[in-house]
Amino acid sequence: MKKILFIILASSVSFLSYSQSITATTILNEDINQAGKLIEAYFTPMTKSFGLGLNNGWYNTAKPHSLGGFDLTFTVNTVIIPKSAKTFNIQDAGGNIFVSNETKASTIFGNNDGTEMTYYPGGNSGMINPQFGFIGGEFNMPGGFNTSIVPIPIIQAGVGLVKKTDLSVRYMPMLNIGNNINVNVFGIGLRHDLLQWIPIVGDAFPMSLSLQGGYTNLNTEVKVSGQKTSLNTKTTTINLIASRKILMITGYAGIGYSSTSTTFTTDAKFDLGGLEFDEKLSIDFESNNKFRANLGVRFNITLLTIQADYTIAEYHTASLGLGVSLR
């Protein structure tokens, strides 16, 4: 699990440490917002994939545990990165302040090729801004990790409460996963049986129907060459789930809503491939709110459960899980 997370997050380190040979040029305060858009365009596919991956794996049946029932499940949610998420439009992100001869640059999941960029302070294409007497400079946007999938591992425990409701908890303490990268995860979810309140429907249809909601918080801390950066991702999801069990096989399906918000922060004097920020950065990435639907199957072998499902969302996700369950 630590190795998988390291592979995902190590690409962030390459972004922060790329092109160390370029002499740093201080960005004007008035251009910091535009620089933030450049950073956001590069990182957005990662924040979306983290959010979508974290919002999966909450359930493998619509039937909650009975009082005192429990389960412990390990799931890997593999987010599939679309081709459109591997590049971003330089003009849209950089405006007339950060420009290039290229029209597109790699995102964090794009190819390994970097992109040569030029910084024009205040959008002045003559390199020297007459108002500030400030000379811009050249820098390199880094290439990406060149990957089409992002695996998100989740360890989750659930316990049955009263009124056909159960509670799920995800937790991983702050762990150093190498190369000055620390991560921690906390999540909590509830599932509640709906058919108990409409017994006529419950008697007519041999199935389970529940409402499920979950919240997950992922903190990532990366320190490179003395530069402290943090990436905080918060995700929420609410789903209507239906399932039907026949012998040892449970088929389940869900439809719901998923939301993700991310904040990227750095210390002062943060260096972006040769561009230096005089003040601390705090960038709130655009919230990602989307509908989602999934279909899956679970196999029960005594206390052992094996599950697999596929989620259709902005980035599709395939999930595979193994656990123990006492209902």
pTM of this prediction?
A: 0.85
CB atoms within 10 A of CB 268: 11
Q: What pLDDT is attached to residue 134?
A: 47
* Ranges under pLDDT 50 in the chain: 1-23, 129, 132-134
Is the Cα dihedral 269, 271, 272, 275 positive or negative?
Answer: positive
CA–CA separation, 189 and 180 (whole Å): 31
Residue 158: name the closest of 256, 259, 67 by CA: 67
Domains, the chain, ordered by start: 2-326 (2.40.128)
DSSP string, 290-305: EEEEEEEEEEEETTEE
Q: Reading across the β-sheet that carries 25-26, which strands appear in turn? A: 25-26, 275-276, 271-272
Can you give the pLDDT at residue 175?
78
From residue 216, how far is each of 162, 170, 186, 189, 198 by CA, in Å?
23, 8, 6, 9, 31
The Cα 179–Cα 125 span in angstroms is 39
Residues belonging to the chain: 327
210 with 167: CB under 8 angstroms? no
Residue 272: φ, ψ to 5°:
-110, 85
Cα separation of 310 and 294, whole Å? 5
- Output the pLDDT for position 83: 95
- Residue pair 166/64 in contact by the 8 Å Cβ criterion: yes
Reported as a single tens digit per residue, the pLDDT across 145-184 is 888 998 888 899 999 999 999 999 998 888 775 556 688 8
Give the distance from CA 278 to its chain's centroid: 28
Confidence at residue 268, expressed as pLDDT on a 0 to 100 scale: 67
Q: How far apart are CA 158 and CA 192, in angstroms?
A: 13
**What is the pLDDT at residue 249?**
97
Q: Which residues contact 203 (CB under 8 A, 6 or more apart)?
A: none
pLDDT at 47: 87
Q: Please report the pLDDT score of residue 24 as a whole number.
A: 54
CB distance 182 to 224 below 8 Å: no
Q: Which of 114, 139, 133, 121 is nearest to 24 (CA)?
A: 139
Amino acid of residue 240: L
Predicted confidence at residue 32, as pLDDT, reads: 82
**In this structure, what token pair is assigned to residue 15?**
């972004």
